[in-house]
């Protein structure tokens, strides 16, 4: 095996030293601790009157609130399909405002045709990676859960994890999948005690801890070399020229 001589002495000619930073523990220190309660936004993926994903979302909300969090649950009734309306639609603006307000998310979807539902996907699709200088999801924590009508499956939570990574969120390791959900909730929509409920408690507890750990450090954790380069005035001017908004 070919091993270059250590330490490397051939330099890094492709690296912009002006934008390169060495990560340090100092950057992770919290100088001004937040005084407000952790803020959580919950999305669920069914509009049915008796919706088990909504019931599970409510259980998560109760738990996060009991732990001291502030919780908002988004109601997707009236949200247009992506690209079927403009971003100034009131339901779209409501969703984006809640995401910007939040520090952590919970996404709950039923499994339909072996995957997540269009209802939850539409909500996520309306959240842009960036809106001007604001990023509605980047650096926020995320917990994923699903309900199934049949045997236990993880298709929906796996798909939600992919979306969470794509949206640049800190997706926690734990997750919840509730099989045969019609057996796990009573007539009032409350989840019955048992191992599946205990797992939901575990997920919410872990989400709360990760949010406390990262929310004051999120800006540092997601600060990237490539984006520091892109923010340079000359880089912005070059992009404007490339897309026809400026002249050389």
Supply the mean pLDDT for the chain. Answer: 90
Closest CA to 104 of 196, 181, 38: 38
pLDDT band at 210; cut points 50, 70, 90 = very high
Phi/psi of residue 38, each to 5°? -55, 140
Question: pTM score, two decimals?
Answer: 0.88
Among 130, 203, 196, 216, which Cα is nearest to 172's?
A: 203
Determine which of 15-24, 124-133, 146-155 has the lowest per-residue pLDDT on average. Answer: 124-133
Residue 239 predicted with pLDDT over 60: no
Local confidence band at 234 (pLDDT 50, 70, 90 cut-offs): low
Q: What are phi and psi of 106, to 5 degrees?
A: -125, 125
What φ, ψ does residue 146 adopt, rounded to 5°?
-145, 160
């Amino acid at each position: 095996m070919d091993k270059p001589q250590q330490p490397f002495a051939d330099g890094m000619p492709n690296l912009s030293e002006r934008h390169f930073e060495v990560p340090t523990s100092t950057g992770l220190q919290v100088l001004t601790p937040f005084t407000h309660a952790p803020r959580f936004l919950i999305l669920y993926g069914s509009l049915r009157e008796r919706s088990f994903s909504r019931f599970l979302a409510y259980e998560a909300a109760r738990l996060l609130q009991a732990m001291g969090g502030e919780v908002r649950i988004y109601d997707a009734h009236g949200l247009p399909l992506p690209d079927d309306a403009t971003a100034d639609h009131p339901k779209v603006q409501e969703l984006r405002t809640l995401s910007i307000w939040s520090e952590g998310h919970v996404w709950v979807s039923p499994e339909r045709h072996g995957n997540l539902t269009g209802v939850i996907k539409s909500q996520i699709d309306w959240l842009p990676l960036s809106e001007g200088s604001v990023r509605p999801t980047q650096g926020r924590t995320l917990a994923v859960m699903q309900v199934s009508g049949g045997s236990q499956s993880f298709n929906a939570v796996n798909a939600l994890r992919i979306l969470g990574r794509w949206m640049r969120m800190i997706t926690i390791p734990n997750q919840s999948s509730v099989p045969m959900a019609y057996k796990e909730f009573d007539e009032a929509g409350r989840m019955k005690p048992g191992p599946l409920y205990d797992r939901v408690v575990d997920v919410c507890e872990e989400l709360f801890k990760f949010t406390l750990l990262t929310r004051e450090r999120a800006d540092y954790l997601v600060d990237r070399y490539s984006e520091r380069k892109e923010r340079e005035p000359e880089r912005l001017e070059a992009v404007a020229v490339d897309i026809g908004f400026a002249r050389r």
